[in-house]
């Protein structure tokens, strides 16, 4: 047969074709790539054809047509021709072609994916680029095919002879090798940990691993030419992927890099093709036997050092911290993060069951069923046994194991594959996954509750029975358990895996947890004698329709949409639908500025993250049409003038009403047991925050598990004129046994120092101008007295206005009513007391505690209706007194109901 296809562009940019031909050879399978020099051969005019040998592995000696066609070793399956997917068009990765079967673990971007477990297993020993897992921290660098051979990288640091090479020179001057290597993400199987308790990582399933044939140059050969100096102990790698905390980088020990048995390489081909952009095009490090996070992609620098890498991603990623460190506590242990004892290098032994697949059914009419799966070990160790139990570990059965990697050791002397020598005959190390299988009688399965497996490596290290939970959720490798269910109606069995990846529902762990089972009770959450806990029914999610059926057929052009970017008729987009905010400029709780700042923007993420179900239910009234997907992609492209994300060069003011801008977390100051001041460094020491008095800003983080946006409004403790830094006073709502805590506050608390956080603003309907003059929804008014009501961290906007008012020699009177539970909860109390003492004629602060200690001499009790009737009363001079309120919803409702009954008008009571 002959089939024309085009799996990847050639390096010189010409049109690529290759032929799939029938070949009979000891070392070549029947369906096999045979590339011509205009295909995957890298042979531009500057290079001789043998500079980048492309033949995909014909043995140097021909074989007789009468010989069997079974190859000596596996070769990759046929790759697919993919396209840029629609969801990637509006991201910085709009140049990357991808397989739609891949499961996205962190939303649309950055691209972090794994294949469906069944599909991964079915591809066999070698994984195509289409289904190979991907771990990206940010945008994929774009490298044109014409630029590949001129890609430069360096070998520098503690070396006698620093090297600067192009990929062309690397190919010309060094011996090429080709090895099969399995790469595994340290987060493989993390979803299981996240079900038990959320970690700071997103939810990998059991397919966070893949195997490919990698071609390149031995890292040891490269370092030998550079000659490391005395005292050098580490090799650091740095990629070209620019991220919020610098370029991605990490390190390994120098003696490992120099050891040919470790097999580390600088690679430029994957399965005979130039590297796919997601996998490091055009050059990457590949480190066998270690976690994938050490195999740096888009390689630019190799630095020999005396100490481990100080790169942010080396320190704050790929570590297994002690299990007692919680996500909340992890933010306050910088020395622990830097402790190299907790850094992960070699993989641990792990395994999974692939067949039966999740929810697969088997008829009891069958006699046997063959269980199948994979196993791997780390550091070159070999998996030596795979054991299966049907009685939860009382007895075990030994499964069969096959090692496809060993077939490469049979390659003839001098064999080349994709231009690199295939020479594994001398190597003892094992760097690939292996496969196991075991046929079990259906009668035995029918009498069992589950099937559990465990693997052992050649150092006799065996997978543990129980999970070792850690804050990053890495290296999860307890026994893999598949639950067996009996279906009498269909006379069959069906099987349930532990979890499904990402946010996909399913798995016995989620089911058991929802039913009230304790997943850490040592019995996989099953109820045991004396355990009478009740099941917990999960409340179904509400579906809110935000569209007007009459508007669904109206297509709005990008030009028409962009024309509505001002104050008079602001249009905005949520989920591809266009809304006209004009009618809500007066009534929006956040003020007209919130809508005006959204004009001509796609605000889907922040709208859905902030607004209530009631607000979403109002949206059909404002729905006017839709923007076509092609126009939406242009609107959201990084180069779009209306793009609402990204950073800009430093300007005099930090905040921008239509752009999310980064500031780095620089300090945390503990104020009380549950409150901290979070300080952020701005782009420049001379840059002012730029927040008007009385307004607030939006803060955006990503949920560490789902990667969904968490957006909340805060009023900084810092005045808007402060330069260089921004301080947020935040009360942290921690998880409790009976209630989930605050997503944003716990996420902020778990951030390590140096981590970027996004800000946008200002927003808000109230602004204090000066000398008692303020503006509400843009309308100015003169105020003689402010009554300020707050509770807990609601003090921050009150404090901001109070400080500005009292900073003026003449201005309004201020009465502050501050309610809390205990004295420790009173935030900013020394500053409030000082302002009251310095301005006795203009400022009075009244505290009220609902649970005071015996030593408290102030007011006791809640701020209830009688409290406000007594302390606030009816308005003395209508229109000249304004009430400012910030606190829990219950307090705000109480204030509103009480003051309305006392005769206060709607325009006189402002809720922040």
Q: What is the pLDDT of residues 120-178, one digit of tens each?
A: 999 999 999 999 999 999 899 999 999 999 999 999 999 999 999 999 999 999 999 99
Distance CA 81, CA 99 (A): 9
Residue 643 has pLDDT above 60, yes or no: no
C-alpha to C-alpha distance for 711 and 700, rounded to whole angstroms = 4
- Confidence class of residue 467 from pLDDT cuts 50, 70 and 90? very high
Is residue 585 predicted with pLDDT exceeding 60? yes
Long-range contacts of 517-520 (CB under 8 A, 24+ apart): 519/195, 519/196, 520/196, 520/467
Better pLDDT: 350 or 106 = 350
pLDDT interval class at 541 (50, 70, 90): very low
Judged against a pLDDT cut of 60, whether residue 41 lies above it is answered with no
pLDDT in tens, 498-517: 999 998 889 999 999 988 88
* Numbered ranges of CATH 2.40.30.10 in the chain: 661-763
Four-point Cα dihedral 335, 288, 208, 310, nearest 10: 20
Q: Above 80 in pLDDT, residue 671?
A: yes
- The rounded percent of the chain whose pLDDT value lies above 70 is 86
Least confident of 63-77, 557-571, 636-650: 636-650
With tokens 């910088």, the residue in question is 334
Is the pLDDT assigned to residue 647 strictly greater than 50? no
Does the structure show a pLDDT above 50 at 50? no
* CATH topology assigned to domain 661-763: Elongation Factor Tu (Ef-tu); domain 3 (2.40.30)
482 pLDDT higher than 70: yes
From the CA atom positions of the chain, what is the Rg in Å?
A: 32
pLDDT at residue 100 above 50?
Answer: yes
Report yes or no: 581 and 570 within 8 Å, Cβ to Cβ: yes
Residue from 26, 112, 119, 185 carrying the catalytic annotation: 185
* Mean pLDDT within 831-843: 93
The yes-or-no verdict on residue 404 having pLDDT over 80 is: yes
Give CATH 2.60.40.650 domain extents, the chain. 350-514
Using alpha carbons, select from 684, 712, 682 the residue that is nearest to residue 611: 712
- Given a cut of 70, whether residue 590 has pLDDT beyond it is no
Range(s) of the chain covered by CATH 3.40.50.80:
766-911
Q: Is 185 a catalytic residue?
A: yes
Helix residue spans in 275-382 (DSSP H): 312-315, 327-330, 334-337
Backbone angles phi, psi at 5, to 5 degrees: -155, 180
Q: 145-320+330-339: CATH homologous superfamily? A: Oxidoreductase, molybdopterin-binding domain (3.90.420.10)
The band of 35, judged by pLDDT with boundaries at 50, 70 and 90, is: very low
236 catalytically annotated: no
pLDDT at 18 (0 to 100): 29
* Fold of the 766-911 domain: Rossmann fold (3.40.50)
pLDDT for the residue numbered 8 = 38
DSSP state, residue 53: -
Residues of the chain with CATH 3.90.420.10: 145-320+330-339
- Who's near 66: CB < 8 A, 6+ residues apart? none
Gap between the Cα atoms of 485 and 807, Å rounded: 71
Among 580, 577, 575, which residue's Cα sits nearest to residue 555? 577
Mean pLDDT of the region 406-411: 92
Q: Does domain 550-636 have CATH number 3.10.120.10?
A: yes
432 labeled binding residue: no
| Separation in Å, CA 689 to CA 318, 329, 683, 717, 912 | 34, 29, 10, 11, 19
Q: Which candidate, 751, 194, 734, 105, places its Cα nearest to that of 469?
A: 194
12, 317, 602, 749: the catalytic one is 317
- Cα(822)–Cα(818) distance, integer angstroms: 12
Active site residue 447: no
Q: What is the mean pLDDT of residues 434-462?
A: 97
| Residue 15: per-residue pLDDT | 30
Q: Please state the pTM of the whole predicted model.
A: 0.64
Q: Is the pLDDT of residue 221 over 60?
A: yes
Annotated active-site residue in 318, 476, 636, 820: 318
- Does the pLDDT at position 712 exceed 90? no
Cis before residue 281, ω within 30 degrees of 0? no
Residue 813, burial from CB neighbour count under 10 angstroms (0-12, 13-18, 19+): middle
Helix ranges (H only) for 363-460 are 442-446
Name the architecture of domain 350-514.
Answer: Sandwich (2.60)
Provide the pLDDT for residue 70.
57
């Amino acid at each position: 047969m002959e089939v024309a296809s085009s799996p990847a562009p050639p390096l010189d940019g010409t049109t690529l074709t290759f032929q799939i031909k029938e070949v009979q050879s000891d070392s070549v399978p029947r369906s096999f790539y045979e590339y011509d020099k205009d295909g995957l051969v890298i042979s531009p005019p500057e290079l001789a054809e043998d500079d980048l040998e492309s033949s995909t592995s014909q043995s140097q000696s021909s074989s007789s047509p009468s010989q069997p066609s079974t190859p000596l070793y596996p070769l990759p399956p046929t790759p697919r021709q993919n396209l840029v997917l629609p969801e990637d068009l509006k991201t910085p990765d709009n140049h990357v072609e991808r397989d739609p079967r891949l499961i996205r673990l962190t939303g649309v971007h950055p691209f972090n994916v794994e294949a469906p477990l069944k599909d991964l297993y079915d591809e066999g020993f070698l994984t195509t680029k289409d289904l190979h897992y991907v771990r990206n921290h940010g945008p994929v660098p774009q490298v044109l095919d014409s630029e590949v051979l001129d890609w430069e990288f360096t070998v520098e640091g503690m070396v006698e002879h620093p090297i600067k090479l192009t990929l062309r020179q690397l190919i010309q001057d060094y011996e090429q090798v080709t090895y099969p290597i399995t790469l595994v993400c340290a987060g493989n199987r993390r979803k299981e940990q996240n079900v038990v308790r959320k970690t700071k990582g997103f939810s990998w399933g059991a397919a966070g691993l893949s195997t490919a044939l990698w071609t390149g140059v031995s890292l040891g050969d490269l370092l030998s030419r550079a000659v490391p100096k005395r005292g050098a102990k580490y090799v650091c790698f740095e990629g070209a992927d620019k991220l919020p905390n610098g370029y991605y980088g990490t390190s390994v020990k120098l003696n490992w890099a120099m050891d040919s048995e470790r097999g580390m390489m600088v690679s430029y081909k994957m399965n005979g093709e130039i590297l796919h952009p997601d996998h490091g095009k055009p050059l990457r490090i590949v480190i066998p036997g270690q976690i994938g996070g050490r195999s740096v992609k888009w390689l630019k620098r190799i630095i020999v050092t005396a100490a481990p890498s100080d790169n942010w991603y080396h320190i704050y990623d790929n570590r297994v911290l002690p299990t007692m460190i919680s996500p909340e506590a992890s933010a306050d242990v910088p020395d622990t993060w830097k402790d190299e004892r907790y850094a992960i290098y070699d993989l641990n032994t792990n395994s999974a069951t692939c067949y039966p697949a999740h929810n697969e059914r088997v008829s009891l009419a069958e006699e046997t069923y063959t269980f199948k799966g994979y196993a791997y070990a780390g550091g070159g160790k070999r998996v030596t046994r795979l054991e299966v139990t049907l009685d939860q570990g009382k007895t075990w059965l030994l499964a069969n194991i096959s090692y496809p990697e060993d077939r490469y050791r049979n390659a003839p002397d001098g064999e080349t594959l994709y231009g690199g020598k295939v020479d594994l005959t001398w190597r003892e190390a094992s760097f690939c996954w292996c496969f196991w299988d075991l046929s079990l009688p259906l009668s035995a399965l029918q009498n069992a509750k589950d099937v559990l497996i465990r693997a052992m490596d050649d150092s006799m290290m065996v997978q543990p029975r129980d999970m070792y939970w850690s804050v990053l959720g890495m290296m999860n490798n307890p026994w893999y358990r598949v639950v067996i269910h009996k279906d009498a109606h269909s006379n069959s069995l069906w099987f349930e895996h532990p979890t499904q990846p990402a946010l996909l529902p399913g798995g016995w762990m989620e089911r058991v947890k929802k039913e009230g089972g304790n997943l850490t009770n040592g019995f996989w959450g099953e109820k045991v004698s004396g355990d009478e806990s009740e099941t917990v029914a999960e409340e179904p999610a509400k579906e809110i329709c935000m569209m007007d059926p009459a508007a669904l057929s109206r297509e709005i052009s990008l030009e028409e949409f962009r024309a509505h970017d001002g104050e008079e008729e602001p249009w905005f987009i949520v989920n591809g639908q266009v809304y006209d905010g004009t009618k809500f400029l007066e009534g929006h709780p956040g003020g007209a500025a919130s809508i005006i700042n959204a004009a001509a923007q796609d605000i889907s993420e922040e709208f859905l993250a902030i607004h209530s179900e009631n607000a979403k239910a109002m949206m059909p009234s404002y729905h006017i049409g839709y923007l076509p997907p092609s126009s939406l992609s242009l609107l959201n492209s990084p180069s779009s003038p209306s793009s609402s994300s990204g950073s800009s060069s430093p300007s005099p003011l930090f905040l921008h009403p239509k752009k999310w801008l980064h500031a780095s977390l620089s300090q945390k100051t503990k104020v009380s047991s549950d409150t901290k001041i979070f300080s952020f460094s701005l782009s420049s020491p001379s840059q002012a925050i730029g927040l008007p008095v009385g307004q607030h800003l939006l803060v955006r983080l990503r949920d560490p598990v789902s990667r969904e946006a968490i957006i909340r409004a805060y009023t900084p403790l810092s005045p808007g004129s402060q330069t260089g830094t921004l301080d947020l006073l935040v009360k942290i709502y921690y998880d409790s046994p009976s209630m989930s805590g605050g997503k944003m506050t716990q996420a902020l608390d778990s951030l390590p120092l140096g981590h970027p956080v996004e800000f946008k603003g200002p927003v808000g309907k109230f602004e204090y101008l000066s000398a008692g003059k303020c503006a509400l929804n843009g309308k100015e008014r003169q105020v003689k007295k402010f009554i300020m009501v707050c509770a807990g961290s609601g003090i921050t906007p009150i404090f901001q206005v109070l400080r500005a008012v009292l900073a003026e020699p003449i201005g309004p009177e201020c009465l502050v009513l501050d309610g809390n539970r205990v004295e420790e909860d009173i935030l900013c109390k020394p500053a409030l007391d000082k302002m009251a003492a310095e301005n006795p004629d203009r400022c009075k602060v009244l505290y009220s505690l609902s649970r005071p200690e015996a030593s408290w001499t102030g007011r006791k009790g809640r701020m209830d209706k009688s409290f406000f009737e007594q302390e606030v009363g009816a308005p003395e001079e209508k229109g000249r007194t304004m009430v400012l309120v910030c606190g829990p919803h219950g307090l705000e409702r109480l204030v509103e109901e009480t003051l309305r009954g006392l005769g206060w008008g709607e325009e006189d009571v402002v809720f922040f």
